[in-house]
Amino acid sequence: MPHRYAVIGNPIAHSQSPVIHAAFAEQCGEVIDYGRILGDRHDFAADVQRFFAQGGLGLNVTLPFKEQAWALVDERSERAEVAGAVNTLIVLPDGRLRGDNTDGIGLVRDLADNHGFTFAGARVLLLGAGGAARGVLVPLLGSGLRELVIANRTAERAHTLAVLGSGSSTVPVAACGFEGLIGERFDLVINATSAGLSGAVPPIPADLLAPGGWTYDMLYGAEPTAFCRWGQAHGAARSLDGLGMLVEQAAESFRLWRGVRPRTAEVIAMLRAAD
């Protein structure tokens, strides 16, 4: 019997995770069975328990269950603890469940390892203060950046996230509404808002990027996202979407389960070509 893994979400049909993990397994010469589970919105816990009772070894968790997964586990990594959300479930040898969150390390590795962004000394802006922003906070603050500013439409939520970040790191973290960004310059602007789902870009100043500054959209799509286009139109040296982050978060889950870190470049290229 191949070792069983799956991604659980609702909806789930669109998930690329089975394709990504099948590619990792093939590359590493491992035999795994990685499926999709349409989670019950009213009884997520029962779906998880059934999967592990039937011998499953690990689950990826996606929308809308990441917070429920956080509440369900027996123990959590520090980055998952602060994220308030879990995207990777690992069954421990004693049968207890451990929750981790690989989204933030996926973001940092895509920028630093795949694209060569230098976090050391960088002034970074995180747009958004919802689940996506909170999910990447700890790895972002551990990346070597000099200062993080969190800006959100609802400034109060940005302040809450900044307090959370300050509690888990010695890196300076500031917060504001979008109007507070006037006159500010950043080496990297990361979009973690969901504005792009409706083709919108947060109302940010046109001169937000420092010379040589980059933009990164945590969303991705077959066409350049609205925020990628904003970056291109406003002088970004690099304007990246979140496809690499998707593959990198999967690679970190694979490593947690299998003890091997797969190469990601060829998988990113395969998905890009399939778009």
Which of 36, 66, 79, 134 is an active site residue?
66
| Given 6, 48, 132, 240, the residue binding ligand ATR (CB under 6 A) | 132
Q: Is 156 annotated as a binding residue?
A: yes
Q: Residue 223 burial by CB count (10 A; 0-12/13-18/19+): exposed, middle or buried?
A: exposed
Q: Which tokens go with 199?
A: 């083709």
**Residue 195 touching ligand ATR (CB under 6 A):** yes
| Given 194, 235, 238, 261, the residue binding ligand ATR (CB under 6 A) | 194
Residue 236, amino acid: A
| Given 152, 225, 249, 264, the residue binding ligand ATR (CB under 6 A) | 152
Task: Tell me the site size for ligand ATR, rule CB under 6 A.
Answer: 15
For the question of residue 66 being annotated catalytic, the response is: yes
Please state the closest distance from residue 261 (CB atom) to ligand ATR, in A.
27
| Given 39, 106, 128, 139, the residue binding ligand ATR (CB under 6 A) | 128
Q: Tell me whether strands 97-100 and 123-127 are parallel, antiparallel or unpaired.
A: unpaired
Using DSSP's 3-state secondary structure scheme, residue 38 falls into: strand
The 10 Å Cβ neighbour count of residue 159 is: 17
Distance CA(130)–CA(236), nearest Å, equals 25
CA distances from 206 to 53, 56, 165, 197, 198 (A): 53, 49, 27, 21, 20
Q: Is 43 annotated as a binding residue?
A: no
Please state the closest distance from residue 127 (CB atom) to ligand ATR, in A.
7
Q: Where does this chain bind ligand ATR (CB under 6 A)?
A: 128-133, 152-154, 157, 193-195, 200, 202
Which residues form the catalytic set?
66
